[in-house]
Amino acid sequence: MKLYSYWRSSASWRVRIGLALKGLPYAYEAVDLLASQQKADAHAARNPMRQVPVLELDDGTRLTQSLAILGYLDHLRPDPPLYPVDALERAHAVALAEIVNAGIQPLQNLTVLGRIEALGGDKLVWGRDVIQSGLEALQAAAAPHAGTFLVGDAPTVADLCLVPQLYNARRFACDLDRLGLLTTIEARCAALPAFQAAHPDQQPDAPRSTP
């Protein structure tokens, strides 16, 4: 398999965690979002939304949308499950994942921030506000179901969405003191090798710091 990814892309990061948790090997193909490589026709042929991630299977089939890709990985290798097997737990996990996937990340992606700026708005204030209010809603929604992780005692698709979104929250200077449940769970995720391997700084296209 080949993953088209960008080191700081939160949606790509979700898929990298899923691949690592399942121990699935893959080739990494960087798409430089800052150089607008996602806008090129070659990438539009992979994903008409001109976004990463794209997971290309060995037979050339291309999968897009991180949550759909994670669902595919669960069928390919069910253990450990990213989507809980129990129907209610699954619904809770998907609801939390969608708060990030549909309710936060699309409001602060590169294209939207560029439009805010072009319209004369302050993209950093906008980004901070939508991430802050979204994560506060996520925390309130998670509280009744949380165990060691967001839903129960093993990482689910919800945690795979949480960790990259908190990274973005720091970049936008959100107030994390109000998000204690989320940052506690983030720390538990960060202790796991799969989450460490998927971190942006570990990716081949991450800028190398000069000695």
Ligand X SMILES: N[C@@H](CCC(=O)N[C@@H](CS)C(=O)NCC(=O)O)C(=O)O
Which stretches of the chain bind ligand X, using CB under 6 A?
A: 9-11, 33, 38, 51-53, 65-67, 101, 109-111
Query: CA nearest 130: which of 147, 109, 149?
Result: 109
CB of 15 to ligand X, least distance (A): 8
CB 89 within 8 A of CB 159: no
In terms of CB distance, is 114 or 147 closer to ligand X?
114
In terms of CB distance, is 104 or 151 closer to ligand X?
104
CA distance 62 to 75: 16
CB of 101 to ligand X, least distance (A): 5
In terms of CB distance, is 95 or 181 closer to ligand X?
95
CA distance 110 to 185: 27
CB of 109 to ligand X, least distance (A): 4
In terms of CB distance, is 32 or 86 closer to ligand X?
32
Q: Which amino acid is at 129?
A: D
Q: Which residue is nearest to ligand X (CB)?
A: 51
What is the DSSP code (8-state) at residue 36? T
What's the helix, strand, coil split of the chain in %, to 5? Answer: 55, 10, 35
